[in-house]
Structure 1
Amino acid sequence: MKNLIIGLLLGAMLGVTAGFALGIVAFPYLFPPAPVNEQLTGLVTGARVAAGRFIHADPKDPLHHGRGGVQVYQNLVHLESDFEVGPGPKYHLYLVPDADVGPDTAVDETMFVDLGRLKAFSGSQNYPVPPGTDLADYGSVVVWCEQFGVLISPARLVADTPP
Protein backbone atom coordinates (compact mmCIF):
# COMPACT_ATOMS: atom_id res chain seq x y z
CA MET A 1 0.00 0.00 0.00
CA LYS A 2 2.85 2.37 0.89
CA ASN A 3 4.52 1.75 -2.50
CA LEU A 4 1.24 2.46 -4.27
CA ILE A 5 0.87 5.84 -2.56
CA ILE A 6 4.49 6.77 -3.33
CA GLY A 7 3.99 5.73 -6.95
CA LEU A 8 0.80 7.81 -7.23
CA LEU A 9 2.52 10.87 -5.72
CA LEU A 10 5.53 10.52 -8.03
CA GLY A 11 3.23 10.07 -11.03
CA ALA A 12 1.20 13.14 -10.08
CA MET A 13 4.35 15.25 -9.64
CA LEU A 14 5.77 14.10 -12.97
CA GLY A 15 2.42 14.72 -14.68
CA VAL A 16 2.12 18.25 -13.31
CA THR A 17 5.73 19.06 -14.25
CA ALA A 18 5.38 17.66 -17.78
CA GLY A 19 2.02 19.40 -18.23
CA PHE A 20 3.49 22.74 -17.11
CA ALA A 21 6.48 22.39 -19.47
CA LEU A 22 4.22 21.43 -22.37
CA GLY A 23 1.96 24.39 -21.58
CA ILE A 24 4.88 26.84 -21.79
CA VAL A 25 5.86 25.51 -25.21
CA ALA A 26 2.30 25.15 -26.57
CA PHE A 27 0.86 28.44 -25.24
CA PRO A 28 2.11 30.72 -28.08
CA TYR A 29 0.77 28.26 -30.65
CA LEU A 30 -2.64 28.02 -29.01
CA PHE A 31 -3.02 31.71 -28.09
CA PRO A 32 -0.91 33.83 -30.47
CA PRO A 33 -1.03 37.60 -30.05
CA ALA A 34 -3.16 39.46 -32.57
CA PRO A 35 -1.36 40.94 -35.57
CA VAL A 36 -0.46 44.58 -35.12
CA ASN A 37 -0.52 47.38 -37.64
CA GLU A 38 1.67 50.17 -36.33
CA GLN A 39 2.28 53.14 -38.61
CA LEU A 40 5.40 55.28 -39.03
CA THR A 41 3.50 58.56 -38.97
CA GLY A 42 5.13 61.01 -36.57
CA LEU A 43 7.66 58.49 -35.20
CA VAL A 44 10.56 58.77 -37.64
CA THR A 45 13.16 61.48 -37.35
CA GLY A 46 15.50 61.59 -40.33
CA ALA A 47 15.88 59.55 -43.48
CA ARG A 48 15.91 55.79 -43.76
CA VAL A 49 19.36 54.36 -42.99
CA ALA A 50 18.99 50.74 -44.19
CA ALA A 51 16.52 48.06 -45.20
CA GLY A 52 16.38 44.28 -45.39
CA ARG A 53 14.21 41.16 -45.69
CA PHE A 54 13.73 38.43 -43.12
CA ILE A 55 14.54 34.95 -44.40
CA HIS A 56 14.09 31.32 -43.39
CA ALA A 57 17.61 30.78 -42.04
CA ASP A 58 17.48 26.97 -41.88
CA PRO A 59 15.14 25.29 -44.39
CA LYS A 60 15.61 21.98 -42.53
CA ASP A 61 13.88 23.55 -39.51
CA PRO A 62 10.15 23.97 -40.25
CA LEU A 63 9.36 25.61 -36.88
CA HIS A 64 11.74 28.58 -36.95
CA HIS A 65 11.06 30.74 -39.97
CA GLY A 66 10.32 34.30 -40.93
CA ARG A 67 9.65 36.57 -43.86
CA GLY A 68 8.89 40.18 -44.62
CA GLY A 69 10.62 43.52 -44.79
CA VAL A 70 12.35 45.71 -42.25
CA GLN A 71 13.29 49.38 -42.51
CA VAL A 72 15.82 51.04 -40.22
CA TYR A 73 15.75 54.74 -39.37
CA GLN A 74 18.11 56.58 -37.04
CA ASN A 75 15.65 56.36 -34.15
CA LEU A 76 13.40 53.44 -35.14
CA VAL A 77 13.28 49.92 -36.58
CA HIS A 78 10.06 49.29 -38.51
CA LEU A 79 8.86 45.78 -39.38
CA GLU A 80 6.71 46.06 -42.49
CA SER A 81 3.13 44.83 -42.85
CA ASP A 82 4.28 41.61 -44.59
CA PHE A 83 6.38 40.61 -41.56
CA GLU A 84 5.64 37.14 -40.19
CA VAL A 85 7.41 34.54 -38.02
CA GLY A 86 6.35 31.13 -36.78
CA PRO A 87 5.01 31.37 -33.21
CA GLY A 88 7.07 30.63 -30.16
CA PRO A 89 7.94 31.86 -26.66
CA LYS A 90 9.92 34.97 -25.70
CA TYR A 91 10.95 36.26 -29.14
CA HIS A 92 13.08 39.42 -29.14
CA LEU A 93 14.26 41.75 -31.90
CA TYR A 94 18.03 42.33 -31.94
CA LEU A 95 20.39 44.54 -33.91
CA VAL A 96 23.42 42.30 -34.56
CA PRO A 97 26.90 43.35 -35.80
CA ASP A 98 27.25 40.38 -38.21
CA ALA A 99 25.82 40.83 -41.70
CA ASP A 100 25.64 37.10 -42.43
CA VAL A 101 23.70 35.52 -39.58
CA GLY A 102 22.87 31.82 -39.85
CA PRO A 103 21.81 28.94 -37.60
CA ASP A 104 25.41 28.47 -36.40
CA THR A 105 25.93 32.14 -35.47
CA ALA A 106 26.27 32.66 -31.71
CA VAL A 107 23.96 35.68 -31.75
CA ASP A 108 23.67 35.81 -27.97
CA GLU A 109 27.47 36.12 -27.70
CA THR A 110 27.73 39.13 -30.02
CA MET A 111 27.49 42.79 -29.01
CA PHE A 112 23.80 42.89 -29.97
CA VAL A 113 21.29 45.59 -29.08
CA ASP A 114 18.01 44.22 -27.71
CA LEU A 115 15.18 46.33 -29.14
CA GLY A 116 12.58 44.53 -27.06
CA ARG A 117 10.20 41.63 -27.05
CA LEU A 118 8.36 40.95 -30.30
CA LYS A 119 4.88 42.47 -30.07
CA ALA A 120 3.22 39.98 -32.43
CA PHE A 121 4.10 37.18 -34.83
CA SER A 122 2.84 39.19 -37.82
CA GLY A 123 2.11 42.70 -38.96
CA SER A 124 3.90 46.04 -38.94
CA GLN A 125 5.64 46.94 -35.70
CA ASN A 126 7.90 49.73 -34.45
CA TYR A 127 10.86 49.44 -32.09
CA PRO A 128 12.79 52.49 -30.86
CA VAL A 129 16.57 52.47 -31.32
CA PRO A 130 18.37 53.42 -28.09
CA PRO A 131 19.95 56.89 -28.27
CA GLY A 132 23.65 56.80 -29.10
CA THR A 133 23.43 53.57 -31.13
CA ASP A 134 25.66 53.79 -34.22
CA LEU A 135 23.62 51.89 -36.80
CA ALA A 136 26.66 51.61 -39.09
CA ASP A 137 27.98 49.01 -36.61
CA TYR A 138 25.06 46.62 -37.24
CA GLY A 139 24.65 44.41 -40.30
CA SER A 140 21.48 42.53 -39.39
CA VAL A 141 18.20 42.63 -37.55
CA VAL A 142 17.25 39.24 -36.13
CA VAL A 143 14.34 37.65 -34.35
CA TRP A 144 15.83 35.58 -31.51
CA CYS A 145 14.16 33.22 -29.05
CA GLU A 146 15.64 34.14 -25.68
CA GLN A 147 14.00 31.24 -23.87
CA PHE A 148 15.73 28.55 -25.95
CA GLY A 149 18.65 30.52 -27.48
CA VAL A 150 17.51 29.87 -31.06
CA LEU A 151 17.71 32.00 -34.20
CA ILE A 152 14.23 32.43 -35.64
CA SER A 153 14.86 34.69 -38.64
CA PRO A 154 17.63 37.10 -39.72
CA ALA A 155 17.37 40.11 -42.03
CA ARG A 156 20.61 41.34 -43.60
CA LEU A 157 20.64 45.12 -43.73
CA VAL A 158 21.62 46.98 -46.88
CA ALA A 159 22.62 50.58 -46.22
CA ASP A 160 20.84 53.28 -48.18
CA THR A 161 23.10 55.38 -50.35
CA PRO A 162 22.70 59.13 -49.94
CA PRO A 163 21.21 60.95 -52.95
Structure 2
Amino acid sequence: MTQGYKIAIPVFVLGFLAGAGFWYLFSPSFIDRVVSEELPAGLELTETRNGQFRDVDGAHRGSGMVRVLSNEAGGALLRFTDFEVTNGPDLEVWLVRNPDPKRSADVSASQWVSLGPLRGNKGDQTYVVPEGTDMADWGSVVIWCEQFSVLFSVATLLPAGN
Protein backbone atom coordinates (compact mmCIF):
# COMPACT_ATOMS: atom_id res chain seq x y z
CA MET A 1 0.00 0.00 0.00
CA THR A 2 2.79 2.47 0.81
CA GLN A 3 4.36 1.69 -2.57
CA GLY A 4 1.23 3.13 -4.23
CA TYR A 5 1.55 6.37 -2.23
CA LYS A 6 5.22 6.72 -3.23
CA ILE A 7 4.09 6.89 -6.84
CA ALA A 8 0.70 8.61 -6.48
CA ILE A 9 1.84 11.61 -4.43
CA PRO A 10 4.68 12.74 -6.77
CA VAL A 11 2.43 12.18 -9.80
CA PHE A 12 -0.30 14.27 -8.17
CA VAL A 13 2.15 17.07 -7.25
CA LEU A 14 3.70 17.12 -10.74
CA GLY A 15 0.24 17.12 -12.35
CA PHE A 16 -0.89 19.97 -10.12
CA LEU A 17 2.23 22.05 -10.90
CA ALA A 18 1.96 21.34 -14.64
CA GLY A 19 -1.73 22.29 -14.62
CA ALA A 20 -1.05 25.52 -12.71
CA GLY A 21 1.78 26.41 -15.11
CA PHE A 22 -0.40 25.70 -18.13
CA TRP A 23 -3.23 27.84 -16.71
CA TYR A 24 -0.85 30.74 -15.95
CA LEU A 25 0.72 30.72 -19.40
CA PHE A 26 -2.24 29.96 -21.63
CA SER A 27 -5.42 31.14 -19.88
CA PRO A 28 -4.93 34.74 -21.11
CA SER A 29 -5.16 33.38 -24.65
CA PHE A 30 -8.80 32.36 -24.24
CA ILE A 31 -10.07 34.71 -21.52
CA ASP A 32 -10.86 38.27 -22.59
CA ARG A 33 -10.55 41.24 -20.25
CA VAL A 34 -13.08 43.82 -21.42
CA VAL A 35 -12.87 47.41 -20.14
CA SER A 36 -15.04 50.42 -20.85
CA GLU A 37 -13.36 53.52 -19.44
CA GLU A 38 -14.84 56.93 -20.01
CA LEU A 39 -12.59 59.85 -20.88
CA PRO A 40 -12.26 62.01 -17.75
CA ALA A 41 -14.86 64.79 -17.83
CA GLY A 42 -13.96 68.47 -17.76
CA LEU A 43 -10.62 68.18 -19.55
CA GLU A 44 -9.91 70.45 -22.48
CA LEU A 45 -7.93 68.20 -24.79
CA THR A 46 -6.73 68.50 -28.35
CA GLU A 47 -5.98 65.52 -30.57
CA THR A 48 -2.42 65.96 -31.84
CA ARG A 49 -1.64 62.51 -33.28
CA ASN A 50 -3.42 59.25 -33.98
CA GLY A 51 -2.95 55.77 -35.39
CA GLN A 52 -4.61 52.44 -36.14
CA PHE A 53 -3.56 49.26 -34.37
CA ARG A 54 -2.71 46.44 -36.76
CA ASP A 55 -1.79 42.77 -36.74
CA VAL A 56 1.83 41.79 -36.29
CA ASP A 57 1.45 38.21 -37.50
CA GLY A 58 -1.13 35.43 -37.66
CA ALA A 59 -1.04 34.80 -33.90
CA HIS A 60 -0.78 38.39 -32.62
CA ARG A 61 -3.65 40.52 -33.85
CA GLY A 62 -4.78 44.02 -32.99
CA SER A 63 -7.30 46.60 -34.16
CA GLY A 64 -8.77 49.89 -33.03
CA MET A 65 -7.71 53.49 -32.80
CA VAL A 66 -5.21 55.30 -30.59
CA ARG A 67 -5.39 59.07 -30.19
CA VAL A 68 -2.84 61.30 -28.49
CA LEU A 69 -4.77 63.93 -26.54
CA SER A 70 -2.85 66.94 -25.20
CA ASN A 71 -3.78 69.79 -22.90
CA GLU A 72 -2.46 73.37 -22.80
CA ALA A 73 -0.20 72.57 -19.84
CA GLY A 74 1.72 70.04 -21.92
CA GLY A 75 0.24 66.87 -20.44
CA ALA A 76 -0.83 64.04 -22.72
CA LEU A 77 -3.09 61.00 -22.68
CA LEU A 78 -3.32 58.01 -24.99
CA ARG A 79 -6.93 57.08 -25.71
CA PHE A 80 -7.73 53.64 -27.17
CA THR A 81 -11.15 53.31 -28.83
CA ASP A 82 -12.74 50.26 -30.45
CA PHE A 83 -9.58 48.52 -29.25
CA GLU A 84 -9.02 44.78 -29.45
CA VAL A 85 -5.83 42.72 -29.23
CA THR A 86 -4.97 39.05 -28.82
CA ASN A 87 -4.72 38.45 -25.08
CA GLY A 88 -1.55 37.18 -23.48
CA PRO A 89 0.42 37.23 -20.24
CA ASP A 90 2.04 40.40 -18.90
CA LEU A 91 0.92 42.77 -21.69
CA GLU A 92 2.05 46.39 -21.47
CA VAL A 93 1.49 49.62 -23.41
CA TRP A 94 4.73 51.11 -24.74
CA LEU A 95 5.67 54.24 -26.65
CA VAL A 96 8.44 53.34 -29.12
CA ARG A 97 10.70 55.65 -31.13
CA ASN A 98 10.60 53.37 -34.19
CA PRO A 99 7.51 54.45 -36.17
CA ASP A 100 6.96 51.11 -37.86
CA PRO A 101 8.29 48.10 -35.91
CA LYS A 102 7.40 44.90 -37.74
CA ARG A 103 9.05 42.38 -35.39
CA SER A 104 9.85 42.08 -31.71
CA ALA A 105 13.52 42.70 -32.50
CA ASP A 106 12.61 46.10 -34.01
CA VAL A 107 11.02 47.14 -30.71
CA SER A 108 13.90 45.80 -28.60
CA ALA A 109 16.42 47.68 -30.76
CA SER A 110 14.57 50.97 -30.38
CA GLN A 111 14.08 53.24 -27.39
CA TRP A 112 10.80 52.81 -25.53
CA VAL A 113 8.89 53.93 -22.46
CA SER A 114 6.29 51.82 -20.67
CA LEU A 115 2.94 53.38 -19.81
CA GLY A 116 2.08 50.40 -17.61
CA PRO A 117 0.07 47.20 -17.86
CA LEU A 118 -2.65 46.85 -20.48
CA ARG A 119 -5.93 47.12 -18.56
CA GLY A 120 -7.90 44.93 -20.93
CA ASN A 121 -7.49 43.33 -24.31
CA LYS A 122 -10.85 44.73 -25.45
CA GLY A 123 -12.53 48.07 -25.01
CA ASP A 124 -11.98 51.79 -24.60
CA GLN A 125 -9.20 52.82 -22.23
CA THR A 126 -6.94 55.77 -21.38
CA TYR A 127 -3.26 55.90 -20.38
CA VAL A 128 -1.40 58.86 -18.90
CA VAL A 129 1.84 59.80 -20.65
CA PRO A 130 4.59 60.61 -18.11
CA GLU A 131 5.22 64.32 -17.55
CA GLY A 132 7.99 65.75 -19.68
CA THR A 133 7.50 63.21 -22.48
CA ASP A 134 7.60 64.97 -25.85
CA MET A 135 5.13 63.03 -27.98
CA ALA A 136 6.84 64.26 -31.17
CA ASP A 137 9.79 62.00 -30.26
CA TRP A 138 7.74 58.78 -30.33
CA GLY A 139 6.78 57.05 -33.57
CA SER A 140 4.43 54.32 -32.43
CA VAL A 141 2.39 52.75 -29.66
CA VAL A 142 2.86 49.02 -29.17
CA ILE A 143 1.26 46.30 -27.11
CA TRP A 144 4.19 44.33 -25.72
CA CYS A 145 4.43 41.05 -23.82
CA GLU A 146 7.06 41.81 -21.20
CA GLN A 147 7.35 38.22 -19.99
CA PHE A 148 8.29 36.77 -23.38
CA SER A 149 9.52 39.94 -25.19
CA VAL A 150 6.91 39.60 -27.94
CA LEU A 151 5.24 42.31 -30.01
CA PHE A 152 1.45 41.84 -30.08
CA SER A 153 0.22 44.90 -32.01
CA VAL A 154 1.51 48.25 -33.25
CA ALA A 155 -0.02 51.61 -34.17
CA THR A 156 2.10 54.11 -36.07
CA LEU A 157 1.45 57.64 -34.79
CA LEU A 158 0.63 60.20 -37.48
CA PRO A 159 -0.26 63.89 -37.17
CA ALA A 160 -3.97 64.41 -36.44
CA GLY A 161 -6.01 64.92 -39.59
CA ASN A 162 -4.04 62.42 -41.73
TM-score scaled by length of structure 1: 0.82
- Deviating beyond 4 angstroms after TM superposition, the runs of 4 or more aligned structure 1 residues are 1-6
Instruction: In structure 1, give the amino acid aligned to 2:153.
Output: S
Contact preservation (8 Å) 1:38, 1:124: yes
Cα shift readout 1:72-126 (whole Å, capped 9, x = no counterpart): 123100001x110122222111000001111243424532111111111111110
Quote the residue 2:73 is aligned against.
Answer: none
Instruction: In structure 1, give the amino acid aligned to 2:63.
Output: R
Contact preservation (8 Å) 2:37, 2:126: no
Kindly report the root-mean-square deviation, in angstroms, between the aligned alpha carbons of the 2 structures: 2.3
What SS is found at the alignment partner of 2:120? coil
Offset at 1:10?
3.2
TM-score scaled by length of structure 2: 0.83
Q: Could you tell me which runs of 5 or more consecutive residues in structure 1 were left unpaired when the two chains were aligned.
A: none
Please state if 1:78 is matched with 2:79: yes
Amino-acid identity (%): 36
How many residue pairs get matched?
A: 156
Distance of 1:111 and 1:44 partners within structure 2: 30
Contact preservation (8 Å) 2:98, 2:106: no
Q: Could you tell me which runs of 5 or more consecutive residues in structure 2 were left unpaired when the two chains were aligned.
A: 71-75
Distance of 1:147 and 1:128 partners within structure 2: 22
Q: Given the superposition, is the C-alpha separation of residues 85 and 28 from structure 1 closer, same or farther in structure 2, using an over 3 Å criterion?
A: same
Deviates more, 1:8-17 or 1:82-91: 8-17
What SS is found at the alignment partner of 1:35? strand
Q: Given the superposition, is the C-alpha separation of residues 8 and 98 from structure 1 closer, same or farther in structure 2, using an over 3 Å criterion?
A: same
Offset at 1:25?
2.3
